[in-house]
A = this chain, B = another copy of it.
C-alpha cells in the first residue's frame, strides 16, 4: 500500500495514495505546488550547495546531516512519482560502501559521535525513501541499497547500548519490517527505543533531555527536549508498540501526548517554546514571540497523530493533526512555494529582512529559500507528496474521512467524491460514485469546535441532525463520539450526503496558566487560526486592544472571493480599514520586494478563497519613554478602528510585516 505508515494491526486501516486522489482545493493545490515547485526548488538548492555532489565524492559541503535532505527529497519524489527520482537515487546508491554503510560525512571515521553525528538518523531517512519507492512503484536499486543499509545497522548495533542522538531510525526500521517481514529490523528498532534514557548518550550542555535520554521512553511524563527528536522518537515507539503488541508502551505514549497537548502546544499546533535546543519548554511556557514551533516538529506531530489515530481510532489525534496541518504545516511555505518558515512564532514585533540566499538562522521573521540547517523544506516536500495518505482511513465496515478536502476516495468497491471548499466553507458533500453490494458506513470526523458550537445550540438530537445533514432524501447521520456516521447501508451511485459545519468565527482564550498570553484572546474560524498582520509597520500591532464581547465578522469584500477562483490577495492593504496616518505610512513604506512577493502571491495556485475577518479594536498611543514598569497604568485609550485578520498560514506573503495571533483584551 502506498502509504508511509502501514501497521499490521490497529483500529483503523490507512488508505494508500492510489485510494485517495486529491482534486483542486486546499490540500490538492498544495500537493500540486509541491510537485510543480517545491521538489524542484529543493533539488536546485542542494545541487547548488554541493549537498548532492557529496555523494559523488566532491569536496564535502554542508552540515553533517545534509545527506538526509537528499533522502527526504527522494522520498518526496517517490510519493509524487517524480521522474527525477532515478537519477538522484543512482547518485546516492553509488556512494554506498560494500558493507551497506552510507554517509558522505563520516565515511572512514564511522560512529565516533553518537550525540551529534546523525549517522543513524541519515540511515533512517534513507530507509524511508526506499520504502516510499517500494510501495509506490516496486523494487529498485535504491530498495536494494536500503536493505543493505538496514542489515548493516542491525549487524553493527543489535548488541551494545548505542543509540543515535537524533531519533528517526526507529520508525524507519519498523516500516521496513512491515514491508519486508524481516523480524530483525523490528527487533533493532525495539532495542533502539528501549536503550534510551538508561542513559545511552553523553551529558551535553543542553542536558540529556535534549535528545530524550534522561528517562526511559516509557517512563517520561510528557514530551520534552528537542521537539523534532521527541516527535520522531514517539513515532518509533508507537510503531514498535503496535508491531510487538506492547500495550504498555502505547499507553505511555498516549499519556505523554495527552500531557503535552494540555500544556505544551501552541494554538497553531506548534510544538517547541524555546530557541535554545529547539525544544519544548516547561508546562504552560508558551510564549507567542519566542515560540519556536519548528516546521519539522509540526510535521512530526502530524506523523505521530496519524500513528496514534490508526492504532486507537480516537479522533482527538486527528483533531490535533488538523490544527497542525492548517496552521503550521501550511504556514511554512510561501504561497509561491519558493521560501519557507523554519520557526513559526505567533507574534512578530519587528519585520524580518527578506533574503534570497541561504539563511544561517532559523528564527527569521520572513521565509527564506534555504537554510544552513535545511530540514524543513524537504520535510514539507515529502509530507505534501504523501498527504493523501493522512486524510482518510478504512475499517471492514466503511470509510472514515478525517480531513474533508476535495478528493476521490476508493476502498474495497466503494468510491466516493468529496466536494468542499473547506476550510473556507463548512459545507462538505460526499457523492457516491461506485458502491459495493454490501452495506458500508461513511463517517466524517466532527471537529471539537464544531461539536461545541452544535451542542451550544442546545437543540434536540433531531435538530442537530437537521443542521448538519444535507442529504437530499433525508438520510441523517448518527453521532458516534466525535464522528458523524452515515449508514451502514447499501449505497447507490449518485447518492449525495452532506454536512454543514458551523463556520462562525469565534474568540478563544488561553488557559490562565499560560502566562505569556494572559489578557489576550485569539480568533479562529473552522480549523483556521487567524492573526493580525501589519505589513511594513512596526507600531500598530503593539497598540491595539480588542473586545472579545464583540464577535469577529467576515469581511463583506471577501464574500465574492469565497465563491470565486484565482484572485488577488488584498492583504497588502494593512490591517486597519480606517485610514489612520500610520496605516497610510505603512502602505507607502512597503518595500519593493514586498510588492514583488505579492505579485507571486496573486498567481499562486494554492489556498484560494481565504476568508478574511475583522474585529473592532481600540488603538492606544505609544506609551511612556521611562522604564517599562511604573506605579500606574493609566495610559489613555483612543481611536476606535477595525482590525483586519487573515489566516495565520497566509501571513508574511507580502513582504516584511509585524504579526500577532494573540490580541490584548485590555
Interface residues of A (CB under 8 A from B): 203-207, 258, 261-263, 265, 267, 274-276, 281-290, 347, 349-350, 360-361, 363, 372, 449, 452, 506-520, 522, 542-543, 620, 623-633, 635, 664, 666
For the residues of A in contact with B, the DSSP-based class is loop
- The answer to whether A350 touches B282, judged by C-beta atoms less than 8 angstroms apart, is yes
- The answer to whether B664 touches A542, judged by C-beta atoms less than 8 angstroms apart, is no
> Are A628 and B265 also in contact (CB < 8 A) when A274-B275, A288-B515, A349-B284 are?
yes
Report B-chain residues with C-beta under 8 Å of the C-beta of A449: 631
Chain B residue nearest to A622 (CB atoms) is B513
The smallest beta-carbon distance between A325 and chain B, in angstroms, is 16
- The answer to whether A628 touches B516, judged by C-beta atoms less than 8 angstroms apart, is no
Bound together, the chains give a CA A543 to CA B284 distance in angstroms of 12
> Are A205 and B631 also in contact (CB < 8 A) when A623-B513, A624-B262 are?
no
The smallest beta-carbon distance between A565 and chain B, in angstroms, is 33
Enumerate the 4 nearest inter-chain pairs by beta-carbon distance, A residue then B residue, closest first. A519-B519, A511-B628, A509-B633, A275-B276
- The answer to whether B628 touches A286, judged by C-beta atoms less than 8 angstroms apart, is yes
Bound together, the chains give a CA A635 to CA B625 distance in angstroms of 36
Give 26 CB contacts A-B under 8 Å: A205-B360, A207-B360, A258-B625, A262-B624, A262-B627, A263-B628, A265-B628, A267-B629, A281-B289, A282-B289, A282-B350, A284-B542, A285-B349, A287-B516, A289-B515, A506-B631, A508-B631, A509-B629, A509-B633, A511-B629, A512-B620, A512-B635, A514-B628, A518-B518, A519-B519, A522-B629
Bound together, the chains give a CA A342 to CA B518 distance in angstroms of 28
Report B-chain residues with C-beta under 8 Å of the C-beta of A511: 623-624, 628-630
Report B-chain residues with C-beta under 8 Å of the C-beta of A522: 629
> Are A627 and B261 also in contact (CB < 8 A) when A287-B290, A361-B207 are?
yes
Report B-chain residues with C-beta under 8 Å of the C-beta of A347: 515
Residue with the greatest number of chain B CB neighbours at <10 A, chosen from A207, A286, A518:
A518
- The answer to whether B509 touches A265, judged by C-beta atoms less than 8 angstroms apart, is no
Bound together, the chains give a CA A261 to CA B290 distance in angstroms of 21
Contact of A664 among B452, B518, B620 (CB under 8 A): B518
Bound together, the chains give a CA A626 to CA B624 distance in angstroms of 39
- The answer to whether B287 touches A509, judged by C-beta atoms less than 8 angstroms apart, is no
- The answer to whether B515 touches A516, judged by C-beta atoms less than 8 angstroms apart, is yes
Contact of A626 among B206, B262, B510, B627 (CB under 8 A): B262
Report B-chain residues with C-beta under 8 Å of the C-beta of A508: 629-631
Report B-chain residues with C-beta under 8 Å of the C-beta of A626: 261-262
- The answer to whether A519 touches B516, judged by C-beta atoms less than 8 angstroms apart, is no
The smallest beta-carbon distance between A520 and chain B, in angstroms, is 7
Bound together, the chains give a CA A290 to CA B510 distance in angstroms of 19
Bound together, the chains give a CA A596 to CA B289 distance in angstroms of 40
Contact of A542 among B265, B363, B513, B629 (CB under 8 A): B513
